[in-house]
Amino acid sequence: MSTRLFVSGALINGVEIELDGDRARYLGKVLRARVGDSVIVFNGEGAEWPATITRIGRNGVSLTVGEGCEAGTESPLKIHLVQAISRGERMDFVVQKATELGVKRITPVLTEYGIVKLNAERAEKRRDHWRKIAASACEQSGRTRLPLIDTPIPLQHWFGSKPDNVDAELILKPGAKTALATLSAPKTKVCVLIGPEGGFSDLEYEAAEIADFKPMSLGPRILRTESAAIAALAILQSLWGDLR
């Protein structure tokens, strides 16, 4: 499979583009690419372009872009993952795997029992970090559209500004009577809310109920937050998305 690279900015058939920084170092030093080698580039907006390396220098790499086309790797099911922020590399793992599983939007939320606390500056830095992880996951998985990743926000604030045009709004809750796999098929959009390591508080579950979220179960076992996210997304895609 050809090397795939995410590049920011507009891509147009037949133009020459310059890569520098991490992208250039990755091609030149990690992959040891040569002039004449072919790669695929995409900018996260839905199409991808074949490209040929025309120059490899100390400070950059030049590519000539071919004719772009749609890749057809996006799921018809639009999943919005509202994920309580977990500590360490767990949140990075969720962003990576959610991207591979075709999620359209990720909203990281701060919760009552969540361990991670972020001020405004740190929240922006974390979002930028997660966007890079998502871009790398798109390169690996063949996706051409980057998921939208929001700036972290307190869960209670998000309830007051959540999107209205959603077919199903679900919250994972251990012991819930309804299994996720028994739901009726939504038209196109699903929002799923997943708690932190310590779970949601009673007040957060009450707020979710007021916001019309339906409690759902993944089965008899209690999963870690990162496992719950991956399991829920895989079930949703296998029921109504492109894993059917």
Q: Which domains does the chain have, with CATH numbers?
A: 4-70 (2.40.240.20), 78-240 (3.40.1280.10)
Which phi-psi region, left, alpha or beta, contains residue 70 (left: φ > 0; alpha: ψ -120 to 50)?
beta
Are 118 and 85 within 8 A, CB to CB?
yes
CA 72 to chain centre: 17
pTM of the complete model: 0.91
Tens of pLDDT along the chain (244 residues)? 578 999 888 888 888 988 888 888 888 878 888 998 999 999 998 899 999 999 988 888 999 999 988 888 899 999 999 999 988 789 999 999 999 999 999 999 999 988 778 888 888 999 999 999 999 999 999 999 999 999 999 999 999 888 888 999 999 998 899 988 888 888 889 999 999 988 999 999 999 999 999 999 998 888 999 999 999 999 999 999 998 8
